[in-house]
Homo-oligomer: A and B are copies of this chain.
Amino acid sequence: MSLVPDWLAHRAAATPARAAVRLGERRWTFAELDRAVSALAAWLQSEGVRQGSSVGLLAWNSLAAAVAIHAVPRAGGVLVPLNARLTADDLAWQLRDSGASLLLFDDANAALGEAAARTAGVLARRLPDLDALHEAAFPPPRFRLDAPHSIVYTSGTTGRPKGVVLTFANHLWSAVGSAFNLGLIGDDVWLACLPFFHVGGLSILLRGVLYGIEVSIHEGFDAGRVNRDIDEGGATIVSVVATMLRRLLDARCDAPYPPSLRCILVGGGPVPRDLLERCARMGAPVVQTYGLTEAASQVCTLPPEDALRKLGSAGKPIFPTEVRVVDEAGEPCAPGEPGEIWVRGPTVMAGYHRQPEATAEKLRGEWLATGDVGYLDDEGYLYVLDRREDLIVTGGENVAPAEIERVLCEHPAVAGAAAVGLPDPEWGQRVAAAVELRPGAEVSPQELLELCRHRLAGYKLPREIRIVAELPKTASGKVVRRLVREQWLSAP
Q: Which residues of B contact A137 (CB under 8 A)?
A: none
CB-CB under 8 A from A179, the residues of chain B are: 179-180, 184
The reply to whether B183 and A7 contact each other, CB–CB distance below 8 Å, is: no
Q: Which residues of B contact A318 (CB under 8 A)?
A: 14
Taking CB atoms, residues of chain B closer than 8 Å to A320 are: 4-5, 10
A210→B181 CA distance, assembly (Å): 9
Q: Mark A1-33, 1 if CB is under 8 A from B, else 0.
A: 101110100110111000000000000000000
A261 nearest CB across to chain B (Å): 15
Q: Which residue of B lies closest to A212 (CB)?
A: B180
CB within 8 Å of B: which A319-335 residues: 319-320, 322
Query: Is residue A345 contacting chain B, with contact meaning CB distance below 8 A?
Result: yes
A322 to chain B, nearest CB (A): 6
- For A, the interface residue count at a CB cutoff of 8 angstroms equals 34
**Across the interface, which residues of B come within 8 angstroms of A181, CB to CB?**
14, 212
- Nearest-neighbour CB distance to chain B for A18, whole angstroms, equals 10
Best-surrounded residue of A5, A7, A183 (most CB of chain B within 10 A):
A183
A323 to chain B, nearest CB (A): 10
A14 & B317 in contact (Cβ 8 Å cutoff): yes
| B residues less than 8 Å from A13 (CB atoms) | 316, 380
- Cβ of B185 and Cβ of A345 under 8 Å apart? no
Whether A176 is near chain B, meaning CB under 8 Å from some CB there, is: yes
Does chain B have a CB within 8 A of A346? yes
Q: How far is the CA of A121 from the CA of B316 in the complex (A)?
A: 46
Query: Least Cβ distance of A34 to chain B in Å?
Result: 13
A211 touches B (CB below 8 Å): yes
Binding site secondary structure of chain A: mixed
Bound Cα distance from A345 to B210, whole angstroms: 16
A320–B180 Cα distance when bound, in Å, is 17
User: How many angstroms from the CA of A83 to the CA of B42 in the assembled complex?
Assistant: 53
Query: Is A425 positioned at the interface, with any CB of B under 8 Å from its CB?
Result: no
Q: Are A180 and B211 in contact (CB under 8 A)?
A: yes
- Complex Cα distance A369/B14, Å? 22
Q: How many angstroms from the CA of A196 to the CA of B166 in the assembled complex?
A: 38
Of A3, A179, A180, most buried by chain B (CB within 10 Å of CB) is A180
CA distance A380 to B5 in the complex (A): 15
Candidates B5, B10, B316; contact of A14 at CB < 8 Å: B316
Q: Would B185 and A319 count as touching, CB distance under 8 A?
A: no
CB neighbours (8 Å) of A7 from chain B are 319
The 5 lowest CB-CB distance pairs between A and B, nearest first, are: A4-B320, A1-B346, A14-B316, A183-B186, A184-B184
Write the residues of chain A forming the contact surface with B, with a CB cutoff of 8 angstroms: 1, 3-5, 7, 10-11, 13-15, 169, 173, 176, 179-181, 183-186, 210-212, 303, 316-320, 322, 345-346, 366, 380
